[in-house]
Structure 1
Amino acid sequence: MLKKLLSVSVGLLLTLTVYAATVEWADNHPDRYVVKKGDTLWDISARFLKQPWLWPEIWQDNSQVKNPHLIYPGDELVISGRHLGRGGVGPHVRASGYDEAIPPIPLSALKQWLKNTRIVAEDEYRDAPHVIGLEENQLRGSPGQLVYVRGLNAQPGTKLALVRPSGRYYDMPPEDDGRPREVYRQAKDDFHDRRPDILWRHGPNEFTLSGNVRFLGYEMRDFGVVQVTRSGDVSSALVISSDFEVKAGDYVLPIDTRPYDDQYVPHSPPKVPENMRVIAFSDALDAVGPRQVVALSRGSEDGIENGQTFSIYHEGDVVADETDYPEGRTRRFFHPHDAKVKLPSEFIGHVMIFRTFQRVSYGLVMDAVKPVHAGDFLFDPNNVP
């Protein structure tokens, strides 16, 4: 942990000079601010900076804050923008516990996405042990009952997670030349949950007539915990806890001991992967707004990491120029491409990454002036596309 904190501190220090040159302070900001219960790093920076992901600018003026992840209610912060005095209340020993520290983002808004949702690769899914039956031939199981698991190699006493697929992500070549790849989320209801059918039969190495189909991952819901009681070709496991009933066909995976990283602060990405888009969201059918979760089409293999903040833009529509190229006129017939005009992309809001997998990441919409839709693009928050 010490190494990790040192590396975070060094990285922030190296970028402070850049932040200082580009940061814009909000009008009429105070010289000092006392941290209140319920604050988050984003909330504080959003009050005083026009670009909230440049929070290290505030930290730069507060030398008493040794660890930017450990800021507590009652701390007094210098909010100057002019580097006055370098120090707020000065160094002191804090008696508060770690649990009282304010988080970078409102973790309460994330709920199941922090601990109960994961993205797994095809190989991991294909090899996952599965529940093949329940004691006394019951159709459903609950805490205190035994389940029988096939394909499990674990010692008695081992605790494992019960998981169930909720969807899968993939992208495909576009129908029209020059367009970005199309990204899709296929919900569990759209495919069978029997493994021979759910396996991706058009994997990342298979080429269609249009090109390569790229599999991004299976979305799995962690819903319970079992403890192995007997090992064998078919192992026995006791259901310790579950959010809903266990059934044959559920899967067993190792428990994720650290499902998310809370040791980060908002920051802009060094670069934005090509064609990074919103591919799905929670708790809504058509669109989401602030404090809602979105799934994004790029992950750790593309350089995505927790804390990175992106601007969300909606791609401009293509409209017909009815003034200079009216319908039915010769000019429109001979110049069909000139008759169509692509409108500028529209700014929607900001999203911050809080959980990252190999090819998919989850982000929290921090602010939005319009609803966020699936297919919206992500850009560098410091540059307008």
Structure 2
Amino acid sequence: MNLKEISDKCVKCGKCIQVCTIYDINRDETTSPRGFLDLVGAYERGELKLDKTAKNIFESCFLCTNCVSVCPSSLRVDSAIEQVRYDIAQKYGIAWYKKAFFYLLRHRKIMDFCAKMGYVFQSCAFKIKDRAMSPRFSLPLVKKERLLPTASKSSFLNANAEFIDNGGEKSVGIFIGCMANYAYTEIGDGLLKILKTLKINAHLMKKQACCGAPAYFTGDFSNVEALAKKNIVYFEKMLESLDAIIIPEATCSAMIKVDYEHFFAQDKEWQERAKNVSKRIFLATEYFEKFTNLKEILAKNAKNQTLVTYHDPCHARKMQGVFKEPRNLLAQNFTLVEMSDPNACCGFGGVTMQSEKYHLSRKVGQNKAVMIENSGANIVSAECSACKMQLSNALHIKNSKIAVKNPIELIANSL
């Protein structure tokens, strides 16, 4: 990426500032999108050193892509920041706990073992209720107030056969995502129920690797390259016999469909392979709404009065244009109410934001929680486990009883 070119193209119109997640809570022009681009240009020209002040600034972006969606020139501010974060990682290294986390995501068998141990011993350090847990005492990087998902007894991939024959003519692959695989396993269970109803065969593609998004947003490009190439090769092989690959996670889907292409910008062979694969990968609700009769099946069931508001994950609406599809499906059985700004970022922001800059993430989450409560809904739905975790925590802090569900869970329950 030519950082100077993207910086020079910014005309400072200010449209990005009005929608910027970090600027909304700190009112600091330095960390507004055009502020970031000014610093990116200065860095490229050699006028800015990547000292700890610069590191702190570039790690304050939530990468929500709000700025990209409103920019008249569609400048990839997020990609520019991701590139600088790579340079920061090269200079300062990556914190040991992030390295450990990325290592586990890259080595599934070891992650499976750690998840099992986590399931056995999680009650020692956490209070567990309703498939969620909060620390019994303050832990490093984890505030006592926080609500986290519990580890499941068995991962989704390990708990099911690799191929499930539903007697159908079509077969789809499932890319489940790490959080849904190890914590929110009800999302995968919901997918299997829907596919059984539709008589579509399900292939769990058990050799899938992490999409690489956590490492990408942190600047660990070596891990991203290894994971992306492994997935692309595997998907190419699997798509020889599958009609499509569906993903119930906006972040994973956006990483594979959009960011792989950005990542391989300097490697045309792998970029082209990423493009070809992306044509047959869909967010789960997108696939069900566009290519199946699920909507008609749901319409035959009774509609209840449960009020559901929908939160648009940044990686779904802004990066993939998916926002009508989940609403169209949910509206068949639930009463939908819109919050004041369903497109506002929830504040998850990635590993660094959740660990080192939780105070920023918390503030954004609280703003979103107010919107959700003001909608009057009983349930808030989002097709992203990162959003589910963030919104659950934000509502927990406010002692709210509003539940957070992936639309796949709600649709499956309606069946």
TM-score, normalising length from structure 1? Answer: 0.30
Could you say which structure has the higher strand fraction? 1
Q: Which has the higher helix share?
A: 2
